[in-house]
Every structure is written in C-alpha cells, then in structure tokens.
Amino acid sequence: MRPGPRIDNLQYANWSEKIFRQMREGGVDAVHVTIAYHESFRETVLNFEKWNRWFERFPDLIMKGQWAEDVDTARETGRTAIFFGFQNPSPIEDDIGLVEIVHTLGARFMQLTYNNQSLLATGCYEAEDNGITRMGRQVIKEMNRVGLVVDMSHSADRSTIEAAEISERPIAITHANPYDWAPALRNKKDDVIRAVTENGGMMGFSVYPHHLKDKSDCTLESFCEMIARTAEKFGTEHFGIGTDLCQDQPDSVVEWMRVGRWTKEIDYGEGSASAPGFPAMPGWFEDNRDFGNIESGLKAVGFAEDEVAGIMGGNWHRFYKSNFVAAGSS
C-alpha cells in the first residue's frame, strides 16, 4: 500500500460503472464530487438520492464518504470514498438553516459563489467585487459551526481574501492554479493564495485545460514545476490535487454549468464561441487511471517522498480530519 491516500478533491464526471472501475485502477481512495451547480435544495436532494442508488449498485467499488476515517476504510477495503460538495450556494437557497441540513445529508464543501454574484459573495466573472455580504458572514459562521468547508474556487479576489479572514476555520480553493502561471479569471493571484494558506487553508491544483499553461498542450513537466514553485512560496502542506475532471460529459452539461437559469443567452465562460464544449485533456491525464503520472512527475521535479504523498492526498486527508466535524469536536 502507498505511504498515504490518493485523493482528488474535485471531479464532475458523467458517472458510470466504467468510471468507478477506472478510479479503482488508478488507486484513487477518495474523490470530492460536485452534486450541485445551480440546483435548488429539492433538486440537490434528488442528486443525493441518485448517489445512494449507485452506492447500492456498486458496493465493491464506491462508498459514501462523510468523515476522514472513511478514506481509511475505503483504502482498507479497496474502494473509493465519495465526498459531496456544491459549486454554488443555491442548495441552501435563502435559508441559513439549510446549512446544517445539507451537512447532515453529507455535503462537505460549498462554494460561496459560482462565477456570478451570489447572496453570499462575488464570483470571479463580475466586474465589481464587493466582497462577502451580510448574509455571507452569517453563512460562513454557520458553516464553521457544523463542519461545511468554505470553498472559494470560483470567487473573486476580494471575496476570497475576506472569506479566509472572516472564517474561523481554514477554507479551501478546491480546484484552481496560480494566475501567474496561467492567467485565467478562475486562477488565483499570489495574494489570494497567501490569504488562504496563511489561515491554514488548502488549494487543489486543477488539470482542466482552460486553467493550464498552453491549455490541452500543457506538459506534465510544466504542471509539476508550477506545483514546485507554488509549494516553495507557500508551503507544500497546503496543497493537493483537485483535477476538475469532467469525463464523458456532453456539451449540454457545460451549458448547465455556465448558464444555469440566470440567463437566456449562452455564456461561454472560459471557452469560446468556436469551441463551447469541453476541451481535450492533456495526454498525461485523461482519466482516473493517470494519477500515477502526476505522482511520477512530482518526484521528477525534486519533491521528497513524504511531500509527494502529501500532495497526492495526505494533505487533504489531514484537512478532512479537522474540518468536516462540528466546531470543538476532535
């Protein structure tokens, strides 16, 4: 068995037995799965139901993850633990009481925004960033209380920095890369990464091509050298992987991600009018069977064994242990 768990802290694939088996072939012990983009509370409950049926159908491949110990159980039994998260606060609607309810159902991460302004904070595509709202401050406090992690992956700079400072518990950027390596609106500038990591938070490096230098042509060496530079600046212990893998999804799903119900027009977001769908993945990471390539790449750029183990999952595992439980629990 590897020295530590292998965790991918963000995927949104078109789930199937094929993908569950690829997770096992890739030795992936845990995956944080997006189960809401723009869904209401009731629609999100239907997505929990869908996963419950998959857990029933494929008990030898996957299991529900709620606590850090579930990663250990998955490793010991040869399965992948599935942890749930939202890329938008839409499942809590305008009701702070639903924060505890969704945590009880199994949600462990919630973004305060997707790309737009929400009731809680500002998204990275807005022209003006007004920071965390009055409701946002209260929701962060409640998320801290119950053990629902604040995720700022799609949030604007000021909002992210404020969230890191307001939150009494560490926050996360589950899937992004440094802006100075690949200048996409979704990638994070140094002051943002510093605010998150100085407050004990975590960031997961993404392999989604729009977030990569040279996009689909990004090399493994370039990706791993970027990780090395970022870890040197902010500390290896604050980083992991959050691939943002959207395997086997039709283009209609990209439209749902970017558009939801907030506009009648097509919003191409980080794509383009000529290529609105999912971009081709880099050759060194096409699906869950390719995690070994990242591990080898990290070793090749000079990371020590324990640092590689941390980035590949150990750091997320430690983060899960202290942040999924209610405040004051151990």
Angle at 211 between CA 206 and CA 214, to 5 degrees: 120
State the residue for tokens 């009018």.
Answer: 273
Which residues lie across from 202 on neighbouring strands?
Answer: 172
Give pLDDT, residue 272: 45
pLDDT range class, residue 269, cuts 50, 70, 90: low
| Structure tokens belonging to residue 109 | 């991460």
* Helices 315-323 & 68-77 angle (0-180, nearest 10): 130
The dihedral built from the CA positions of residue 21, 24, 30 and 31, taken in this order, carries a sign that is negative
In 134-171, beta strands by DSSP E? 149-151
- Is the pLDDT reported for residue 266 higher than 90? no
Give pLDDT, residue 275: 53
* pLDDT tens per residue across span 18-48: 999 999 999 999 999 999 999 999 999 999 9
- Work out the burial of residue 257: count CB atoms within 10 Å of its CB; fewer than 13 is exposed, 13-18 middle, 19 or more buried: buried
| Structure tokens belonging to residue 166 | 């307001």
| Structure tokens belonging to residue 263 | 């506009």
Instruction: Please state, in angstroms and rounded to a whole number, the distance separating the CA atoms of residues 211 and 213.
Output: 7
Domains of the chain by residue range:
7-323
Q: What secondary structure letter does DSSP report for 310?
A: I
* Helices 157-166 & 134-146 angle (0-180, nearest 10): 50
**Polymer length of the chain:** 330
Instruction: Please state, in angstroms and rounded to a whole number, the distance separating the CA atoms of residues 262 and 252.
Output: 16
Task: Determine what percent of the chain is predicted with pLDDT higher than 70.
Answer: 97
* Helices 291-300 & 220-234 angle (0-180, nearest 10): 60
Query: How many other CB atoms are found less than 10 A from the CB of residue 168?
Result: 11
Query: How many helices (H) and strands (E) are present in the chain, helices listed first?
Result: 12, 9
Instruction: Please state, in angstroms and rounded to a whole number, the distance separating the CA atoms of residues 230 and 128.
Output: 28
Which residues lie across from 11 on neighbouring strands?
Answer: 33, 245
* pLDDT tens per residue across span 292-319: 999 999 999 999 999 999 999 999 999 9
User: Contacts by 60-67 with C-beta closer than 8 Å and gap 24+?
Assistant: 61/17, 61/20, 61/21, 61/23, 61/24, 62/20, 62/23, 64/106, 65/30, 65/108, 66/106, 66/108, 66/324, 67/320, 67/324, 67/325
| Structure tokens belonging to residue 31 | 């995956």
* pLDDT tens per residue across span 202-248: 999 999 999 999 999 999 999 999 999 999 999 999 999 999 999 99
pLDDT range class, residue 273, cuts 50, 70, 90: very low
- Work out the burial of residue 112: count CB atoms within 10 Å of its CB; fewer than 13 is exposed, 13-18 middle, 19 or more buried: buried
Write down the mean pLDDT value for the chain: 95
Angle at 316 between CA 60 and CA 200, to 5 degrees: 160
Its CATH architecture, for the domain 7-323, is Alpha-Beta Barrel (3.20)
Do residues 205 and 177 lie in contact, with contact meaning Cβ atoms separated by under 8 Å? yes
